[in-house]
Amino acid sequence: MYGEVIIDHYRHPRNQGSLDNPDIAHEELNPLCGDRVRIELALGPDGSVRAARFRGDLCMIAQAASSLLTEMITGASLDQIADLPQEKLLEALQAEIRPARMNCVLLPLTALRAGVRLFYASRS
C-alpha cells in the first residue's frame, strides 16, 4: 500500500530521538490528525548539519518522511536546507502520496524550515 521505503523507515526509523544540546529545535503539529513532530539539529563549526534527530507521534507516512528527511539533511548547509524542495522528499519516499496525506509528508519539512528560519532570526 505504501511502498517498501515507507514501510522500512516506519519500522526502522533512522535518527529517531533527541540531541543533548541542539542548536535548532522546532516542533510542529497537524491539528487535524494529531501528528506532532520535533526536529532537532546540531551544527558543526562550518554551520552544516552535524546531526539531525526527530521525535514525534506520527503516522506511518509522517514517520517515514521524518526519518528520510533527517538522513537527507545530515551534512547539508542551512542554506541548502532552506532551499530543499518538497519534491525531493516526495521523490525519496518512492510512493504515490494521495493529496489527503500530503500534510503527513510535509509536516517534518515544515518543522525543519520553521526551525531554520527562527535560528536565522535569532542571530540577526
Partner 1 sequence: MLNDTIYVEVLRPQPTLFIFGAGAVAIPLVTFAKAVGFRTVLVDGRPQFASRERFPEADEIRIGIASELVEKIDFDSNTPVVLVAHDYKYDIPILKRVLTTSAPYVGLLGSRRRGAAIQQMLREDGVTEEQLRRVRVPIGLDIGGETAAEIAQHRGGSCGGRARKKRKSAACTVK
Contacts of 101 (CB under 8 A, 6+ apart): 61
Cα separation, 121 vs 30, whole angstroms: 24
Nearest one of 44, 97, 35 to 66, comparing CA atoms:
35
Q: Quick check: 31 binds partner 1 (CB under 8 A)? A: yes
Binding test (CB under 8 A) with partner 1, winner from 3, 34, 44, 75: 34
What does the block give as the cell for 78? 542551512
Cα separation, 112 vs 89, whole angstroms: 12
Binding test (CB under 8 A) with partner 1, winner from 58, 69, 81, 111: 58
Q: Which residue, 58 or 68, has its beta carbon nearer to partner 1?
A: 58
Q: Quick check: 47 binds partner 1 (CB under 8 A)? A: no
Binding test (CB under 8 A) with partner 1, winner from 35, 52, 65, 89: 35
Structural contact between residues 55 and 18, judged by C-beta atoms closer than 8 angstroms: yes
Q: Which residue, 12 or 98, has its beta carbon nearer to partner 1?
A: 12
Q: In the complex, which residues of this chain contact partner 1 (CB under 8 A)?
A: 27, 29, 31, 34-38, 55-59, 63
